[in-house]
Structure 1
Amino acid sequence: MLSIFEGAVVAVEFLTDEQASRYGAFYGAPARAELERFFFLDDADREKVQAKRRAHNRLGFAVQLTTVRFLGRFMPDPRQVLVEVAEYLAEQLGVADVSVLAEYGERDGTARSHAGEIQQDGGWRDFAEVRDELVVWLDARAWTTGEGPKALFEAAVGWLRERRVLLPGVSRFARLVASVREVANQWLWETPHGLLTPGQRAALDELLTVPTGARVSELDRLRRGPARSSPPRCRWCWRRLRRRWTPPLGRSPCRRWPRWRRCGRWWCRGASWPRRWRRWSSWRRRWTRMRTRRGGGCWCPGFPRCGCS
């Protein structure tokens, strides 16, 4: 599955089928502690529930009232709630026969009207109301922490639950998380790429060109270590080291970036396989080549004594 977000094409298939099925749904019977925390009806809850006349409406209303606390969203069909949850709620309400829950929602609009009442009284907000705020928060977190899409997805779910926001659909939510993360990464490559002159970009592109009569490119030759220890090889390594530590840019463009963003190990991730670079964008290829020429270090002002790499 692909998503297009502000010009970025990203894959969002980072959730497994099991993780997607567990999103906003029950995955096993809740523990006793979870029942007491999320499904206990206090005096205010009982007052709302008792306002319903029939037993199946009272039990169904209680199911919706408590499951939204536990799942972060309303169930499509409250009658499909786990038996353990239904029995725990029926015991508190004095409903002897749990099977009456099957009659809940027989009249069109009952369950929907109850969900709207619970959302209004409980202060639950729709996802559309906080989407822009969530995008800003996700962008800042993706930039500063460098977390993967799964970690960002779980963090965003927690962010919504803390603010009593109803969870959106899993596919829609996954596309949003993956798109925001990809935009942050593309900005990372585009910013230093824009500081290069056309001549510097051409020089970096030539690193992947295999000269006539040679078997490897200039980049592969620079990545190789000395074959034997001798004074000529040491002088050759020293000249190569000086050349690799000469950055094309005079002043570091990322001195205020998070340290992990400047770290050489992250910048050159995947650089051991130059064939992969053809799948990267032009700005990422050139910037990674420039980093490789510098010896895999970081762009800290104190390199190589900064301790980042």
Structure 2
Amino acid sequence: MKATLLKRKSKGDFLFDLMNYTFLTIGMLLILYPLFFVLIASVSDPNAIYAGDVWLYPKGLTLDGYQRIFNDSAIWIGYANSLLYAIAGTAISVTLTLFAAYPLSRKDFIGRNVFMWFFMLTMFFGGGLIPTYLLIKDLGMINTIWALVIPGAAGVFNIIIVRTFFQSTIPDEMREAAFIDGCSNTKFFLQIVIPLSKPIIAVMVLFHVVGFWNGFFDALIYLSDQAKYPLQLILRNILVQNQVNSSMMVDVESYAAKLRVTELIKYGVIIVASLPLLVLYPFLQRYFVQGVMIGSIKG
């Protein structure tokens, strides 16, 4: 069968497939190589990195950077904070998104277009950083977890995607049949709509987990207590300002040695910070394409 299909392909089709595979392979390498380089650099001798000798495999293999990272309490505190912010923020955001999208998807909801218009208005106009900061301050959320998870909890773009998914996946006939059997709106939403919406819920979870895990700007603005810093803010301080915790350098004396150790720690922290998302994505990947395609094209 395969041989027959291959024989039917014209030279133009073969050339087109060859170009596709070539460009996709080049694109894949361009995307994967930076992460691969960071990985091999995190276990290589910093002198070899400075000399440009590290580009395909590690040289001067060492785990000193990882040992210093895992022995530093600030890294573990940042890890715990990031997990807390990601879990709490994702739970709040996904819940609000589902609760907002479902009524907006119902044709019998009077005034849904008016509500949708107000939601979409926020996509084009915002108060700005200073008014937002003053609002967060007046609400007493400065230096708390709520400053990171509440202000951006409901994203209009995500609400539109989930609303479209509900419109294209949950037919009116199913709702009418459930109501005839005595099902209430709440019961229909919890027992029928939610179980049928696993793909889009998985997509929303992935979107929000990635957003909260990678976010550092809100923490930079609203947090002053270092014990509440997320991992990404600690990573930013290491990468941008070379602020490495002194506990990682207790046995390093010379300035040149400190620079080499700092280089190892930079690459190591990037890998440590990226690892949870790399582990999470394969479990949600099968839902990802399905949920996004249904939620953004149909309807």
Structure richer in helix, relative to its length: 2
Rg larger for = 1
Greater RCO between the two (CA within 8 Å, min separation 6)?
2
Normalised to the residue count of structure 2, the TM-score between the two structures is 0.23
